[in-house]
Amino acid sequence: MKSFVTAIRNGQTGFAVRNSVFLPFHCEIISIWIGKEMSLLSVPDQITDLGDAEQISVREGESYTNLVFRKWGDLAKELGNHKGHIILHATEKGEDIFREENRCYIKIGFHDHRKELSFDIVNNPFEL
């Protein structure tokens, strides 16, 4: 398993292919938010039912996690050039999700249309 803290600290990047993002780490996902940075009043959409195959699909490879957002189009086009982001509320794989100190918010940034992703650990997803 690949730690998200280690991957983020080492500056590893991911990539997007249309409605799919590839993360260079594993994690235990609690919830996912998609936020558009259009105004101070915009509120992120929260996706909580990870068991709904029509909403989102999660696949893990040996060294990566792939998230497929089935109801979205081209994520890099919609969220690229700093127009939006994805927030994962997660813990490291195998950690106790019930301990608050184990839970983190991971911001996935779409910087341009090259489809490269960057990652940051943030304290509060509503103060970005």
In this structure, is residue 127 part of a structural domain? no
CA distance 55 to 49: 8
pLDDT value of residue 42: 55
In this structure, is residue 108 part of a structural domain? yes
In this structure, is residue 109 part of a structural domain? yes
pLDDT value of residue 72: 82
In this structure, is residue 51 part of a structural domain? yes
Domain hosting residue 58, numbered range: 4-122
In this structure, is residue 71 part of a structural domain? yes
In this structure, is residue 19 part of a structural domain? yes
Q: Phi and psi (nearest 5°) for 21?
A: -120, 140
CA distance 113 to 97: 34
pLDDT value of residue 48: 64
What is the C-alpha R_g of the chain? 14
In this structure, is residue 65 part of a structural domain? yes
Domain count, the chain: 1
The letter for the amino acid at 53 is A
In this structure, is residue 128 part of a structural domain? no
pLDDT in single tens digits along all 128 residues of the chain: 688 889 999 999 999 999 999 999 999 999 888 877 655 545 566 666 666 667 888 999 999 999 998 888 888 888 887 778 899 999 999 999 999 999 999 999 887 666 889 999 988 776 65
What are the strands of the beta sheet with 14-17, ordered from one edge? 45-47, 28-36, 84-91, 104-110, 116-122, 14-17, 20-23, 65-69, 56-60
pLDDT value of residue 37: 66
Sign of CA dihedral 126, 82, 47, 28: negative
pLDDT value of residue 56: 86
Query: Are 74 and 94 in contact, with CB atoms under 8 Å apart?
Result: no
